[in-house]
Amino acid sequence: MLPGVLVVFHRINDYIAEALEVSNLTFALKGPWFFGMNMLITSDPANIQHVYNSNFSGYDKGPEFKEIFNYLGDGIFSADSKLWEELRHSALVMISHQGFQSFSLRTFVSKIKYGLVPVLDHFGETNKVFDLQGVFQRLAFDVTLTLVTGYDSNSLSIEMPENDYAKAMDDANEVIVYRHVKPMILWKLQNWIGVGVEKKMIKANATFNRLCAKYISSKREVIQSCQHSNIGEEAHDEDILSFYMKLDTSKYELMNPKDDKFLKDTIKTFMIAGRDALATTLTWFFWLLSKNPKVVTKIRQEINTILPRSNKSLDPDMLNKMVYLHGALCESLRLYAPVPFERKSPIKKDVLPSGHKVDANWKILFAAYALGRMRAVWGEDASEFKPERWITENGGLKHEPSFKFFVFNSGPRNCLGKKLSFLQMKTIAIEIIQNYDIKVVEGHKIEQTPSMVLHMKHGLKVTVAKRCLVS
């Protein structure tokens, strides 16, 4: 089946969705003989619940996953078993810490005020066409890098400077997808020789190593300087890198925060987690809004009712009242999952609820992008953008189980940053929708990039105009 897949690789996510629609939500993809590339592709919520919840211990990422995603090292995304438990526990402690939460809030407010707003005002005043996806990627990158390392690259500015680390992330994500449809022996050979798309991965890894080493070295100097100056820990104990550098290692068996490799893997993992999902979701969200002006009107009405020209847009209690905006964001995530698919391998033979038999030689791809389009799951109007889908008759938010709304993963591996993500997305959406009119350039081609992250291939070309607001 592989030649057929390669022919439609430019639209692989839609192709898989179409195949699953006529295959009762699950089908087996047979790869070349002797290469161990057989995969079971599914968007069946029952299969997701079985693997990620009720039979969690029977499945892991597996050694092949770690090989394919080797640039992430031993980060939480590729870890299994005891190491994953330790990484998960430490991440939960860090994200729950009041110091980190306060730092997150200050960082985000500052980047919107001094980064996003000046850039949008500039493009509005000059009436220039610009790439909104690129703006969101820079915003998310700057915020995430600051939260992870304490260092602000200031890539979001009117000058739009090149950023080596961000480019390396995009190149690595692209290479990962190709590794899924190539025999491992082939892509490893290409990587060894340094040809094809693997050449991008070699350069990306060199960039990661160089910049991560710089961030780690600088952070050590800051911590040592504070210690010698007897400055309290609250002065520097906020970003993720600082947290792990000072972690009490006696509580963990397998983690070694004193090791530079561990710290590099930590930086790379949290950078992927923080940047890509936020920027990608916002890009597709504003494209959907451009096609649905009635939704924009309803969101503005909700903003004017709950946040009438106030400065409280980052108050979680106020944001929780933004039911329609929340529904619109969920609907965008449903249709355009930032990470189109997840992957697991059975530890031993098993039978899925769909009736498919799997063993340790099989890989299972869970098609999150396709799941959001399945009529058998979401109804005959599954392809339509309807924020009302997420609102109850009483006007509250409708809950959907994570194995159906699979964007934030499910079970013990569910996304720790879900709450923070919605806080960030709502804040940016309110700032832009309330103060600006965004118009997509007529005739601009919308295509997906074959990548681990659902980027728009040609960006999102738009113009922006400042709204005249009546007090």
Q: What pLDDT is stored for residue 432 in this prediction? A: 96
Q: What pLDDT is stored for residue 179 in this prediction? A: 87
Angle at 151 between CA 149 and CA 157, to 5 degrees: 135
pLDDT by residue (tens digit) across 330-344?
Answer: 999 999 999 999 999
More confident call, 74 vs 125: 125
Alpha-carbon span 262 to 75, nearest angstrom: 8
Whole-model pTM?
0.91
**Residues whose CB falls within 8 Å of the CB of residue 221, separated by 6 or more in sequence, listed in order:** none
Residue 412 pLDDT greater than 70, yes or no: yes
How is residue 356 written in tokens? 């498919």
What percent of the chain is predicted at pLDDT more than 90? 61
Residue 147 pLDDT greater than 70, yes or no: yes
Starting at the edge strand found earlier in the chain, the sheet holding 461-466 runs: 130-131, 461-466, 436-440
Alpha-carbon span 448 to 459, nearest angstrom: 9
- Average pLDDT of the chain is 89
Are 364 and 39 in contact, with CB atoms under 8 Å apart? yes
Q: Is 154 left (phi over 0), alpha (psi -120 to 50) or beta?
A: left
The single-letter DSSP state of residue 251 is: G
Rounded to 5 degrees, φ, ψ at 242 are -60, -45
DSSP 132-186: HHHHHHHHHHHHHHHHHHS-----SSTT----HHHHHHHHHHHHHHHHHTS-HHH
Q: Among 1-15, 167-181, 432-446, which stretch is predicted with the lowest mean pLDDT?
A: 1-15
More confident call, 176 vs 3: 176
Residue 24 pLDDT greater than 90, yes or no: yes
Q: Does domain 2-466 have CATH number 3.40.50.360?
A: no
Annotated binding site: 415
Residue 386 pLDDT greater than 50, yes or no: yes
Q: How far is CA 6 from CA 221, 247, 343, in A?
A: 49, 46, 19
pLDDT by residue (tens digit) across 352-373?
Answer: 999 999 988 888 999 999 999 9
Alpha-carbon span 219 to 163, nearest angstrom: 20
pLDDT by residue (tens digit) across 179-222?
Answer: 887 888 899 999 999 999 999 999 999 999 999 999 999 998 88
Are 20 and 39 in contact, with CB atoms under 8 Å apart? no
Residue 462 pLDDT greater than 90, yes or no: yes
Q: Is 436 left (phi over 0), alpha (psi -120 to 50) or beta?
A: beta
Annotated binding site for heme: 415
Q: Looking at residues 72-79, what average pLDDT do you find? A: 85
